[in-house]
């Protein structure tokens, strides 16, 4: 579904729901708003506090809204048979091999057993990093080093990722710099990358969203905004999709 949108030249917005922070009912209500605001799919995941039955309950609840639900697991507890797919993440700039191949070896047989579609995802943490960076023992790439972000993105492409996810961390004080996104995009185009360039973390305004879109992000992930200021989500999504701002 997401690739079809990209092939049609459409931008994609994903709403992140963290089962540790929201009950199934709260998650349902947030996803209803997100759908009305123009989001295309739901990511369910988080860095701490997840176990399978908790993830199951939130996935089952938000699935009722009718959007694709994709897992964004920070641990094995973030897997659920009720989702449509899973971002099969390797945290490229972790200093601990557990987050690059260790958790993946534990997860792979489970993903197969649960019958989940898996999407190889190169996860690259920039700047602040938040809980994902801390828990994943990332060595975050400095904001002012777009060339390093670009090199990681290109390596992700060459290692077979179908999603390259540039992450500033949930609640980051500022998003991934647009210069890092545009450099990554130009390198990926040269390498004939046919997957998605996804950006997330710290996006709070239509202006942030527009800059990342212009820089070449195929998809934007937001999480905090739906928890803290749901009325502003529609404008952020419209800006990212180049629709006229109100």
Q: Interface residues with ligand 1GP (CB under 6 A)? A: 16, 167, 170-172, 200-203, 221-225
Q: Judged by CB, which is closer to ligand 1GP: 8, or 216?
A: 216
Q: Are 58 and 20 in contact (CB under 8 A)?
A: no
Copy the structure tokens of residue 26.
Answer: 């709260």
Q: Are 83 and 57 in contact (CB under 8 A)?
A: no
Instruction: Return phi, psi of residue 150, to 5°.
Output: -60, -40
Q: What's the CA gap between 96 and 118, in Å, rounded?
A: 23
- Smallest distance, Å, CB 194 to ligand 1GP? 23
User: Coil, strand or helix: which one is 43?
Assistant: strand
- Smallest distance, Å, CB 117 to ligand 1GP? 20
- Would you tell me how many other CB atoms lie within 10 Å of the CB of residue 64? 11
Q: What's the CA gap between 121 and 198, in Å, rounded?
A: 10
Q: Judged by CB, which is closer to ligand 1GP: 157, or 233?
A: 233
- Smallest distance, Å, CB 127 to ligand 1GP? 12
Q: Judged by CB, which is closer to ligand 1GP: 213, or 222?
A: 222
Q: Judged by CB, which is closer to ligand 1GP: 24, or 202?
A: 202
- Smallest distance, Å, CB 192 to ligand 1GP? 26
């Amino acid at each position: 579904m997401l690739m079809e949108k990209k092939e049609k030249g459409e931008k994609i917005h994903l709403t992140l729901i963290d089962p540790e922070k929201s009950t199934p009912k709260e998650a349902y209500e947030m996803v209803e708003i997100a759908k009305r605001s123009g989001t295309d799919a739901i990511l369910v995941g988080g860095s701490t506090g997840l176990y399978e039955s908790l993830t199951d309950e939130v996935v089952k609840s938000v699935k009722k809204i009718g959007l694709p639900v994709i897992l964004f697991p920070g641990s094995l507890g973030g897997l659920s048979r009720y989702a449509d797919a899973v971002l099969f993440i390797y945290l490229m700039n972790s200093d601990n091999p557990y987050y690059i191949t260790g958790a993946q070896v534990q997860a792979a047989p489970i993903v197969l057993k649960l019958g989940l579609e898996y999407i190889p995802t190169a996860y690259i943490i920039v700047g602040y990093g938040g809980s994902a960076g801390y828990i994943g023992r990332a060595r975050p790439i400095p904001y002012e080093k777009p060339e390093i972000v670009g090199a990681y993105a290109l390596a992700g492409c060459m290692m077979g990722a179908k999603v390259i996810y540039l992450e500033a961390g949930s609640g980051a004080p500022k998003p991934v710099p647009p210069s890092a996104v545009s450099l990554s995009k130009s390198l990926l185009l040269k390498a004939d990358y046919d997957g998605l360039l996804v950006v997330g973390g710290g996006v709070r305004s239509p202006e942030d969203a527009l800059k990342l879109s212009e820089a070449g992000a195929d998809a934007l992930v937001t999480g905090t905004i739906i928890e803290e200021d749901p009325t502003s989500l529609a404008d952020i999504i419209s800006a990212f999709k180049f629709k006229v701002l109100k």
